[in-house]
Structure 1
Amino acid sequence: MLGTQAAERLPMPAPTPAPSATSRRRAGRPTAAVLDQDGITTAALQLISRKGYDGLTMAGLARSLGVAPSALYNHVSSKDDVLVLLEDHLAAMVDVSAFGVEPWDVAVRQWAWSYRDVFSEHTPLIPIIAVLPVANAPKTLAMYEAVTAGFREAGFPEERIISAIVALEAFVFGAAYDVTAPEDIFDAGNLADQVPNFTAAVDRLALEKHERPTDVAFSLGLEALISGFGTLRG
């Protein structure tokens, strides 16, 4: 029959493939986050920026990453490990490239300004990182190594190098807070008449609109430190 013969000549349709695991997977966010140190560091910084240092807990960090705490503990064994990651992350952003290349005072100046600017963006971490041991923090140690080598090459007394770095850091950390201070922090308000010298100085500073007061203060203090430390060089 013609109908039967035609049917025999028509190609048979290809069988419909069974749905694969990929095609069955729901589109959108994966069910579990892929963890690595960079992701943990970024999430911890975001958590601290929202809730402050006290808001950084392992349980809270795991929730922000969308994983179970047990998964987080596969990558960091404690909150201290997370803090070391944060310490290293910030230290790696500080510019030490001028040490060994530029004169000592230029290198210190570049390092200190960079240090202040980095930590002015992360002031909640200053009280923690300022006293956090540097063991097991390779990027932090690399920063200190570059600075220490620069001081030694400039003829700085070796027994004074660490003390000088600590003094500079103390100034830098305080200045980082100053960057975020309100512009009217020194406004005496209704008591202005009782402190005429202070009020006049504050008013005079306010006239210097071409420079940020925080930058003027930092530059003044930093240059004094560089000048004073410079006298110790051999």
Structure 2
Amino acid sequence: MTAASPGPRRAGRPPRSILSRDRITGAALELIDTEGYEGLTMSALARRLRVAPSALYNHTASKREVLGWVQDHVMTMVDFSAFHQEPWDEAVRQWAWSYREVFARHAPLVPVIAVMPVTDAAETLRMYEEVAAGFLRAGWPEDRIVPAIVALESFIYGSALDVAAPGDIFDSGSLAAQFPIFTSAVRSATDSAGAESAADAAFRAGLDGMIAGLHQQLTTSST
């Protein structure tokens, strides 16, 4: 008995696309983490996804749009929940540590995200909305909320990059005798940090100082 031949192949597209916003975003983030921002091109992204560039453009209009997706995705990793339940200073502290930890893991994004507009970035705007609401509840004048957030972010982004700095970045080497005060200060900082990393110790000191300074500004403006 002759086996029946298979029926004709059905025409049309597969029921589900192999690409999606989530897949493109994840691949783009991996590409930036491994190759740096310069390594993110649409052709490189297509290769990582194992599709033709034309297939990629069926889902996104441009590299800029992909970066917007990456920005929103990364911001969902930042924990800002403390602004709902903690005093302002503690909420800022928890938010800042989480923010810095996220971008320390994705350091190549720092120079990109730091200057990227938040237009239509829903998740990023959601974070800023909650942080701004926390500032407002703490008594901050509305016109001073954004400058305070930007000041904190500037410190956070720089500190995220500092996490990857080599441990001997301030080693004076053979010139130690010519610069004894700084060399001794570096040694003392290392000794006092104990088990805490130099980057963590610096971030803690700087963040505490910023929070105290901002709190003082708030107190002064309300008197």
Give TM-score scaled by structure 2 length. 0.90
The root-mean-square deviation of aligned C-alpha atoms, in Å, is 2.0
Which of 205, 209, 214 pairs up with 1:220? 205
1:64 and 2:44 correspond? no
Encode CA deviations 1:84-127: one digit per residue, 9 max, x unaligned. Answer: 01100111100000112111111100000000000001111111
Following TM superposition, by how much is the alpha carbon of 1:63 offset from its aligned partner in structure 2, in angstroms?
Answer: 1.2
Cα separation, 2, equivalents of 1:178 and 1:46: 21
State the identity %: 55
Q: Secondary structure in 2 aligned to 1:181?
A: coil
Encode CA deviations 1:57-107: one digit per residue, 9 max, x unaligned. Answer: 111111111111111112110011011011001111000001121111111
Q: Which residue of 1 aligns with 2:99?
A: 115
Given that residues 33 and 107 in structure 2 are in contact (C-alpha distance below 8 angstroms), is that contact kept between their aligned partners in structure 1? no
Which of 78, 82, 98 pairs up with 2:62? 78
Given that residues 119 and 173 in structure 1 are in contact (C-alpha distance below 8 angstroms), is that contact kept between their aligned partners in structure 2? yes
Q: Which residue of 2 aligns with 1:128?
A: 112
1:142 and 2:123 correspond? no
Note the 1:1-234 alignment, pairs <5 A.
16-19=3-6, 34-207=18-191, 208-233=193-218, 234=222
Q: Flag the structure with larger Rg.
A: 1
The unaligned stretches of length 5 or more in structure 2 are none
Q: Which residue of 2 aligns with 1:9?
A: none
- How many matched pairs? 213
Shift >4 Å, 4+ stretches? 19-22
Following TM superposition, by how much is the alpha carbon of 1:206 offset from its aligned partner in structure 2, in angstroms?
Answer: 2.1
Following TM superposition, by how much is the alpha carbon of 1:21 offset from its aligned partner in structure 2, in angstroms?
Answer: 8.3
Following TM superposition, by how much is the alpha carbon of 1:218 offset from its aligned partner in structure 2, in angstroms?
Answer: 0.3
Cα separation, 2, equivalents of 1:159 and 1:66: 48
TM-aligned CA distance change 1:19 to 1:115, over 3 Å: same
Give TM-score scaled by structure 1 length. 0.86
Q: Aligned partner of 1:220: which letter?
A: A
Q: Secondary structure in 2 aligned to 1:232?
A: helix
Deviates more, 1:41-50 or 1:138-147: 41-50
Given that residues 176 and 183 in structure 2 are in contact (C-alpha distance below 8 angstroms), is that contact kept between their aligned partners in structure 1? yes
